[in-house]
């Protein structure tokens, strides 16, 4: 009844999209030319310039290579990638799952919210193309660093390790969304225009290989300060997640344990998402400074009506009484006439127009590693160890120790804890629903158009036309 009431209320109004201003990166003149040329080329359609990035000039100077990497991170955060902004996974897979309600009028977003997605959806095409452009840029750096005779061995290890991490991470997101995908390791446009899709199992093998190499290469790289660059710990964080996904419980526990031994949970729940948080493993720094997060700008409701996203009743009802995360990570806004109150994600509290950067967008943090290890330990029949890890997260949130003491009950408790700890964070909820087999049983009750084939998104229609080797299309589309 409450959802129907909300819907009727918002039909009275037209909600206008916020307009984002494009930002530019201050790079060297040479690298600006490189990026300008590359950004005009579709990854799968045309040959990139031959090849400015792989040149003695670029890869003889560490500063220029670092500019190339900086441009990748800038694009990840600022230019409509899957990892940030209004078109990122946090918002759009949030409305695809059971975290967020959508009140806007964008056709592509509405398709995701109502589960009537088509293969011509512009968001999905944007994710696909931007992801493979980032992968191409990472491959460019890997190739250039490998052939460089001027860079020191230390710098070559650092740059290659970071680029391998980027390649692995972006592929991991694509596989979680689209299923079988190409794993691109080349900058040869002829090869890339005719690649075949690999099974998800094969993709994960490549990801694990890239991350294992990255961990070795970044072993002696000392990255301190704001934790905005991929380090060995960042590669370990993703590796632990991937091992969890492929059900290699021993390795998932091992990777998570290494990180748990290095970091500390932020004891004050209200400070977890500040840029100085001790539990942050990797975060994305704003492209312009001072500036705060897209998450705050996207989620904080200034006026009702006028928002696009709000937390679902389903998520709100998942919190236990007295959970400090509910009181600290969720806020509300009420319409002028007082008839409608909506709650929104308030993990990031500094609005984007603040005068200084108080928060960066966190991608990996320690709490996830405790929950990864807890889940792995259950499958390894270390139930007491799993309980201890789970209680670390619960106690920090002001909750008592878990009462779950069997394998099945502990797994349920861990997935419940992941839901309330990791909500509105890079589609973690959707990935959990999918891998646990609960997407259908849960979403079919909320989404009238739900079909079992919705566990995968369609390969963009235009990509299938360009490269028929990507056929067949995912079932249901």
DSSP 363: E
Could you give the C-alpha distances from 178 to 398, 431, 454, 473, 477, in angstroms and in order?
Answer: 38, 12, 10, 10, 12
How do strand 341-345 and strand 330-334 relate by DSSP bridges? antiparallel
**Cα–Cα distance, 420 to 328 (Å, whole number):** 12
**Biggest CA pair distance of the chain:** 69
Annotated domain spans of the chain: 2-10+37-259+269-290+360-443
pTM recorded for the entire structure: 0.89
pLDDT value at 172 more than 60: yes
pLDDT value at 32 more than 50: no
Give the contacts of 125 (CB within 8 A, at least 6 positions apart).
460, 461, 462, 463
pLDDT value at 450 more than 80: yes
The SS3 assignment for 148 reads: coil
Answer for the pair 219, 235: CB distance below 8 angstroms, yes or no: no
DSSP 141: H
Q: What is the mean pLDDT of residues 423-443?
A: 97
Q: Which two tokens stand for residue 107?
A: 């056709």
Q: Which two tokens stand for residue 364?
A: 């990996």
Q: What is the mean pLDDT of residues 165-176?
A: 98
Q: What is the pLDDT of residue 192?
A: 86
Question: Residue 80 phi/psi, 5° resolution?
Answer: 65, 25
**Alpha helices per DSSP H over 330-470:** 366-379, 383-396, 407-421, 428-436, 439-443, 461-466
- Which region among 62-66, 173-177, 289-293 has the lowest average model confidence (pLDDT)? 289-293
Q: Which two tokens stand for residue 57?
A: 């000039």
Q: What is the pLDDT of residue 83?
A: 85
Considering the chain, what is the average pLDDT of its residues?
88
Give the model confidence (pLDDT) of 12-28 as tens digits: 433 233 222 233 333 33
Q: What is the pLDDT of residue 176?
A: 97
- The length of the chain, given as a count of residues: 477
- Per-residue pLDDT band for 353 (boundaries 50, 70, 90) equals low
Q: What angle (nearest 5°) sits at the alpha carbon of residue 161, between those of residues 130 and 258? A: 110
Answer for the pair 475, 453: CB distance below 8 angstroms, yes or no: yes
Question: Residue 363 phi/psi, 5° resolution?
Answer: -105, -45
Contacts 24+ apart (CB under 8 A), 461-469: 461/118, 461/119, 461/120, 461/125, 462/120, 462/125, 463/44, 463/125, 463/128, 464/119, 466/44, 466/45, 466/193, 467/44, 467/193, 467/194, 467/195, 469/194, 469/195, 469/196, 469/197
Element (H, E) at 303: none
CATH dotted code for 2-10+37-259+269-290+360-443: 1.25.40.390
Q: What is the DSSP string of 39-61?
A: HTS-TTTSPPPS-SSSSTTGGG-
**Cα–Cα distance, 440 to 458 (Å, whole number):** 17
Give the model confidence (pLDDT) of 360-389 as tens digits: 999 999 999 999 999 999 999 999 999 999
Report the candidate in 187, 183, 221 with the shortest Cα–Cα distance to residue 203: 183
Instruction: Kindly state the percentage of the chain with pLDDT values over 70.
Output: 87
């Amino acid at each position: 009844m409450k959802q129907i009431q909300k819907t009727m209320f918002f039909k009275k109004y037209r909600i206008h999209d916020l307009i984002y201003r494009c930002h530019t990166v201050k790079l060297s003149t040479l690298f600006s030319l490189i990026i300008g040329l590359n950004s005009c080329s579709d990854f799968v359609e045309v040959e990139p310039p031959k090849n400015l990035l792989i040149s003695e000039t670029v890869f003889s100077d560490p500063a220029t290579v670092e500019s190339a990497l900086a441009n990748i991170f800038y694009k990840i955060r600022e230019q409509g990638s899957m990892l940030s902004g209004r078109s990122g996974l946090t918002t759009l897979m949030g409305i695809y799952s059971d975290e967020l309600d959508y009140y806007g009028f964008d056709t592509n977003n509405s398709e995701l919210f109502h589960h009537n997605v088509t293969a011509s959806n512009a968001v999905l095409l944007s994710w696909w193309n931007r992801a493979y452009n980032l992968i191409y840029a990472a491959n460019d750096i890997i190739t250039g660093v490998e052939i460089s005779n001027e860079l020191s061995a230390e710098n070559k290890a650092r740059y290659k390790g970071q680029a391998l991490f980027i390649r692995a991470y972006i592929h991991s997101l694509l596989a979680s969304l689209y299923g079988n995908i190409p794993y691109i390791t080349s900058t040869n446009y002829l090869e890339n225009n005719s690649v075949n899709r690999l099974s998800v199992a094969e993709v994960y093998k490549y990801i694990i290989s890239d991350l294992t190499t990255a961990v070795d290469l970044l072993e002696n790289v000392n990255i301190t300060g704001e934790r905005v660059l991929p380090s060995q710990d960042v590669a370990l964080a993703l590796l632990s997640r991937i091992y969890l996904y492929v059900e290699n419980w021993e390795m998932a526990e091992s990777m998570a344990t290494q990180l748990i031994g290095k970091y500390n949970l932020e004891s004050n729940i209200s400070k977890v998402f500040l840029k100085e948080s001790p539990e942050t493993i990797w975060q994305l720094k704003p492209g312009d400074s001072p500036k705060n997060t897209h998450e705050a700008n996207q989620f904080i409701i200034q006026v009702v009506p006028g928002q696009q996203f709000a937390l679902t009743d389903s998520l709100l009802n998942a919190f236990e009484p007295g959970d400090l995360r509910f009181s600290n990570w969720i806020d509300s806004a009420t319409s002028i006439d007082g008839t409608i109150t909506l709650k929104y994600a308030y993990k990031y509290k500094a609005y984007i127009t603040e005068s200084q950067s108080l928060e960066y967008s966190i991608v990996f943090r320690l709490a996830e590693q405790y929950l990864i290890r807890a889940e792995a330990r259950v499958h390894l029949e270390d139930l007491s160890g799993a309980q201890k890890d789970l209680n670390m997260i619960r106690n920090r949130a002001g909750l008592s120790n878990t009462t779950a003491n069997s394998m099945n009950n502990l797994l349920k408790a861990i997935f419940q804890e992941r839901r309330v700890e990791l909500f509105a964070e890079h589609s973690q909820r959707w990935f959990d629903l999918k891998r646990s087999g609960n997407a259908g049983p849960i979403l079919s009750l909320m989404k009238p158009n739900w079909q079992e084939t919705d566990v995968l998104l369609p390969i963009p229609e235009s990509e299938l036309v360009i490269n028929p080797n990507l056929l067949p299309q995912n079932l249901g589309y």
